[in-house]
Structure 1
């Protein structure tokens, strides 16, 4: 990866949790300055600050681990835990965009061997894009997330009801963005992470509106026991 792309990647990874820390800090101050102070909501804001700060620390520690011990950051992870962590990290943003998040997880999903921080960040980025896509839509705002197992892959789907894709052929290009303050690295990084895990990341238009992003990651299929012919078989 080129220096410019690496720098943009690191900035992109840490910017969101730090923004969440600032947002929740401001909210906490407002609740404490209220008359009377709303301690319950202030404590909830502090919990979100802690969660976002831990996420930022995870990213920094992860980058350090990659630079010193490449290839040792993958672990066996339950897919449901990944999408739930990403959903919880984006809860404040969903409230700010007046979006209801719905999650459907298939039962008995197999675990997958992944870089937990990277895959979680992919899901966070896809959720954020879905929320932002619905910022100006007049209809009910719902972000649907699902996890299922099909064709020897675990598939994560993030579906919004926004305006749809303007440039479907270019959205995964580095430094290409349709956002006013965007860096154009989010989806490029996400696809690179999916490719590095032997998976796929793609987008498709919804009918009649909106976009669905799907992340498909392979899992190990147990090998079948060797079939041994019984002694004296005439076959």
Structure 2
């Protein structure tokens, strides 16, 4: 059974009231009409919560429709209000609509009443649904803000254009600003962070993409701290941004830890550099010999070239061969100098794809004279399928130089063979081993050789192996030593193909 439409009708003419009732029922409205004529009766009718629509004549003997409209807007602004009058002029009708009337229908054109009522009820229903949804959204937002207020984090909301809408108590206490401060939050940014932070925020506002940036904000007492600032847009059903919700997470401790790690990395790099320089100092005589050999050969070949050209009949072919040999000798000397220069170079670690077999070959060239003077032969066993590793080339050169030079020096009294091998193992990792037949590892705790300042050499610093282990660890690998079955020791390290 359909529920009747309950109408409050302000009308002094009973016949007009009856006609309105008949027309509505003819237009398929089941109506229950309460007719009133005076102000008191109208006010009493407004108190009936079941009333769904007001129809009102404009002019009555003891009351008027415009006064009724104002009373209805004050007491029941949700009710549709339609004027049904025979005396309503166009100017008066327009004024009534401006005041808040839903529509007007002239009694001479009552055929419009049904469609007007239908439209007014539809708009009222849509308005009620919209207000209900907005109220639900407001309650949800309040509940969300209450939850955010309880979370130990700084939070804020902004309007779609970035204007401040709300900040929680933690931000207000930290910054001394509230939601009425507008864009003054920018004044809390560190001068070095201001332009980048504001630019990224404006880009997010323009694109609608989530915002994230790290910046320093000044507290109310003038202290700057690092914060990770994030903001995401809240959109309506049409996809339009309603608000931005954001948080500020204090990352000061993390930043300080990062700075401390950076300082330690720089300290390690400085120590590694000092170790390289000292090692190169120890190799000065060997390096001089390695460089002098190709230079002397180049000088000799250049002299031969000159003699071939100075003959009565110059032999251009022989002179060309001597010149080519000169170029090869000079190129070899230049390559040795380049390798030495790279080891002396000072800079921050530069990770790239590195061929460990190539690095071993380079170190053999630099250490060949030192090995020869100590009656040591160098034998290599290369895995031709060895993958490259992501590493710092200079640091790996330093490690190979340390391990190979240590092996050569361990055999300086007896001579022997230094074996250097590369091998691909499980998961694509790389294993490098350096074996000698020298004095072996210390009996009292062989792992002590990796401790800083521990050395068995009269002129040693005790830093080479300690730094080498740190470098390998920073690349995600491991360096260790073990005694051989016979004389000597084997040093090995494993590197992953990529950085951890």
Q: What do the CA deviations read for 1:98-142 (whole angstroms, capped 9, x no partner)?
A: 1110001112111111101101110111000000011112xx610
State the partner residue of 1:217.
495
Q: What is the root-mean-square deviation in Å for CA atoms of aligned residues?
A: 3.0
Tell whether 2:279 aligns with 1:16: yes
State the partner residue of 1:202.
480
State the partner residue of 2:373.
96
Per-residue deviation at 1:19?
Answer: 4.5
Per-residue deviation at 1:88?
Answer: 1.5
State the partner residue of 1:83.
360
Question: C-alpha separation between the residues in 1 aligned to 2:339 and 2:283?
Answer: 10
Tell whether 2:395 aligns with 1:118: yes
The 3 A distance-change label for structure 1 pair 170 and 49 is farther
Say if 1:18 and 1:52, in contact at 8 Å, map to a contact too: no
Question: C-alpha separation between the residues in 2 aligned to 1:25 and 1:154?
Answer: 33
The 3 A distance-change label for structure 1 pair 192 and 132 is same
State the partner residue of 1:173.
451
SS in 2 for 1:90: helix
Say if 2:440 and 2:487, in contact at 8 Å, map to a contact too: yes
Tell whether 2:342 aligns with 1:58: yes
Relative to the length of structure 2, the TM-score reads 0.37
The 3 A distance-change label for structure 1 pair 2 and 150 is closer
Per-residue deviation at 1:78?
Answer: 1.8
Question: C-alpha separation between the residues in 1 aligned to 2:456 and 2:330?
Answer: 33
Q: What do the CA deviations read for 1:44-76 (whole angstroms, capped 9, x no partner)?
A: 998776445423421343x23x1xxxx5x0101
Relative to the length of structure 1, the TM-score reads 0.75
Tell whether 2:160 aligns with 1:160: no
Tell whether 2:412 aligns with 1:149: no
State the partner residue of 1:232.
none
Question: C-alpha separation between the residues in 1 aligned to 2:395 and 2:417?
Answer: 25
Question: C-alpha separation between the residues in 1 aligned to 2:330 and 2:271?
Answer: 29
Per-residue deviation at 1:21?
Answer: 4.4
Question: C-alpha separation between the residues in 2 aligned to 1:202 and 1:141?
Answer: 22
Say if 1:25 and 1:49, in contact at 8 Å, map to a contact too: no
Per-residue deviation at 1:12?
Answer: 1.6
Question: C-alpha separation between the residues in 1 aligned to 2:377 and 2:282?
Answer: 21
Tell whether 2:413 aligns with 1:129: no
The 3 A distance-change label for structure 1 pair 183 and 46 is farther
SS in 2 for 1:10: helix
Q: Gaps (5+ residues) in structure 1?
A: 33-37, 221-235
The 3 A distance-change label for structure 1 pair 47 and 219 is same
SS in 1 for 2:448: coil
Per-residue deviation at 1:22?
Answer: 4.1
Question: C-alpha separation between the residues in 2 aligned to 1:26 and 1:83?
Answer: 20
Question: C-alpha separation between the residues in 1 aligned to 2:488 and 2:362?
Answer: 24
Q: Gaps (5+ residues) in structure 2?
A: 1-263, 302-325
Rg larger in 1 or in 2?
2
Say if 2:287 and 2:366, in contact at 8 Å, map to a contact too: no
SS in 1 for 2:462: coil
The 3 A distance-change label for structure 1 pair 124 and 25 is closer
The 3 A distance-change label for structure 1 pair 209 and 111 is same
Say if 2:433 and 2:490, in contact at 8 Å, map to a contact too: yes
SS in 2 for 1:203: strand
The 3 A distance-change label for structure 1 pair 46 and 96 is farther
